[in-house]
């Protein structure tokens, strides 16, 4: 069902604009569900549909990197909206966020899972998987660490990148898809401020983590 739904073209006019991200991260996270996150390198498209995302707020949110104020590491969060914030976690993985809110105000959305739609081979290769077994498609880009690995996202390569320009090789586009039902749950893996319902998932989608 996924393989015969592959994407071959990405019209530039469907790239989400800076205004889209210039809002409360909770609204942005909700609206990012169903959009496409795609890496385009020498003509090839690699990516899929966003099915899970988490909102991180500013100083009021103890779980957010911005909670302690601006540092060298989290500076992107305080910059203009629509830029990639990539950080290294647990000595092994990168996590991809997009900055929200106007310049000077922190806030972001963490991408947690994709439904793979294009470049499955490249993703499998990037994930060091020998093949793409139908039963294990979830292993390609479900989970924030797997997602970044599948798209080759690193801090050096992508941190601070503007995701709203046609020149960017990493973009988020609207192909018209609208999720039927969205669920809100607690965020995963955090210890501070765990009770807030800031994780957004497409209800019933098989590529949501857990």
Question: Closest distance between DNA and the C-beta of residue 87, in Å?
Answer: 7
Residue 83 binds to DNA (criterion: CB under 7 A):
no
56 near DNA (CB under 7 A): yes
Q: Does the protein bind DNA through residue 189 (CB under 7 A)?
A: yes
Strand partners, 87: 95
What tokens does 180 get? 């039927």
Using CB under 7 A, which of the segments 6-14, 16-24, 176-184, 189-197 binds DNA?
189-197
- Cβ–Cβ under 8 Å, residues 95 and 144: yes
15 burial type by CB count under 10 A (0-12 exposed, 13-18 middle, 19+ buried):
buried
Q: Is 95 a binder of DNA (CB under 7 A)?
A: yes
Do β-strands 182-185 and 199-202 pair in parallel, antiparallel, or remain unpaired? antiparallel
Interface with DNA includes 26 (CB under 7 A)?
A: no
Q: Which of 29, 32, 46, 108 binds DNA (CB under 7 A)?
A: 108
Q: Is 72 in the site for DNA (CB under 7 A)?
A: yes
Does position 88 interact with DNA (CB under 7 A)? The reply is yes
35 binding DNA? (CB under 7 A)? no
Verify binding: residue 146, DNA, rule CB under 7 A.
yes
Sheet strands (E) in 91-133: 93-99, 108-118
CA-CA distance, 140 to 129, in Å (whole number)? 9
135 scored as a contact of DNA (CB under 7 A) = no
Q: Does the footprint of DNA cover residue 64 (CB under 7 A)? A: yes
d(CA 104, CA 86): 18
Q: Is 8 in the site for DNA (CB under 7 A)?
A: no
> What residues between 153 and 182 interact with DNA by CB under 7 A?
none
- Among 178, 195, 172, 143, smallest CA distance to 84 is for 172
For residue 98, how many other CB atoms are within 10 A of its CB?
Answer: 29
The residues binding DNA (CB under 7 A) are: 54, 56, 63-66, 68, 71-74, 85, 88-93, 95, 97, 108, 110, 127, 139, 143-147, 187-192, 209
């Amino acid at each position: 069902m996924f393989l015969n739904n592959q994407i071959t073209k990405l019209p530039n006019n469907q790239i989400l604009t800076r205004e889209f991200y210039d809002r409360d991260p909770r609204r942005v996270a909700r609206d990012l569900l169903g959009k496409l996150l795609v890496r385009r390198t020498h003509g090839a498209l690699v990516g899929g549909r966003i099915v899970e995302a988490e909102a991180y707020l500013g100083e009021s949110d103890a779980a957010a990197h911005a909670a302690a104020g601006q540092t060298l590491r989290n500076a992107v969060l305080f910059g203009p909206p629509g830029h990639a914030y990539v950080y290294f976690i647990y000595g092994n993985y990168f996590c991809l966020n997009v900055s929200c809110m106007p310049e000077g105000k922190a806030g972001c959305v963490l991408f947690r899972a994709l439904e793979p739609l294009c470049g499955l081979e490249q993703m499998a290769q990037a994930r060091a998987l020998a093949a793409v077994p139908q039963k294990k498609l979830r292993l390609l880009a479900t989970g924030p660490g797997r997602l970044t690995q599948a798209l080759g996202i690193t801090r050096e390569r992508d941190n601070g990148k503007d995701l709203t320009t046609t020149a960017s090789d990493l973009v988020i586009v609207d192909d018209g898809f609208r999720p039927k039902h969205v669920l809100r749950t607690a965020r995963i893996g955090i210890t501070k401020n765990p009770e807030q319902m800031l994780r957004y998932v497409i209800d019933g989608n098989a590529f949501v983590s857990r």
